[in-house]
Amino acid sequence: LQAGWLHVSGVLAAGMLAVVWGAHWLHLQAVRRTHHCELLHCAATAGAVDGDAEFAAFINKLQTTICDEVAAMDGSGRTFGVDRWERDPSNPAAGYGVTRVLEDGNLIEKGAVNVSIIQGVLTPQRAQSMSSRGRSINPAGGDPYKAAALSLVLHPRSPLIPTLRADVRVFEVAGAKWYGGGCDLTPVYLNEEDACEFHAHWKEVCDAHHPDYYPQFKKWCDEYFYIPARKEHRG
């Protein structure tokens, strides 16, 4: 019998001009054929993040922390490779990204933890799309913007451990900032205990900041992850 769960959690509370940061933690339990249980976890905390430099430093540090902890838990001796790219080699100010991937591990079949920090000018198509969602942006485009994000996806080798996806991001244009993010588990075989513990940790983090956050953000997620054609939620 093999069973287990993999959790990466953090507060990625979205707001028009504010972001709530709480505890970030990484949790893995694997039950092996010999019924030997191995429990490993990582915790990282962050305070309020203000300004471009602070947010960039935060996600770069978080990327390193997550990669180191996942590689240690995997136990295969493999590490996350590093591929740094420039958005425009002729213009360093355009931004950069760091792609990190681990493959063929003991527990992780393939996992990626990526960071991107870029800036540019909004195209008319992008500006129209954003303004149509109620944001105060010139639909003609042309406004400078900045964006930074950390995203990850971890595919476990065992089908009894759910795939995990998470991201945190900020987008700034015309003097306004939008913070957002999310985290979800996608199981092959649904384990109610996994789902309950996953939501319990998110609720605990959200409740530390405001009692309305968890029900509000959970409602958004339930709507976002619903698949009408299948009449079910993804993850």
The count of structural domains within the chain is: 1
Most confident stretch, 107-116, 188-197, 219-228: 107-116
pLDDT tens column, 151-204: 999 999 999 999 999 999 999 988 888 888 888 888 989 888 988 999 998 899
pLDDT score for 45: 31
Query: Which CATH number belongs to the domain containing residue 85 in this structure?
Result: 3.40.1500.10
Decide if 114 contacts 102 (C-beta within 8 A): no
Q: Does the predicted TM-score (pTM) go above 0.85?
A: no
Give yes or no for a contact between 87 and 97, defined as CB atoms under 8 angstroms apart.
Answer: yes
Give, in order, the Cα–Cα distances in Å from 85 to each of 58, 81, 154, 167, 206. Answer: 19, 13, 21, 19, 35
pLDDT value, residue 51: 56
Measured CA to CA, the distance from residue 10 to residue 24 in angstroms comes to 4
Tell me the average pLDDT of the chain.
Answer: 78
Per-residue pLDDT, 76: 95
Q: Note down the domain range covering 88.
A: 3-233
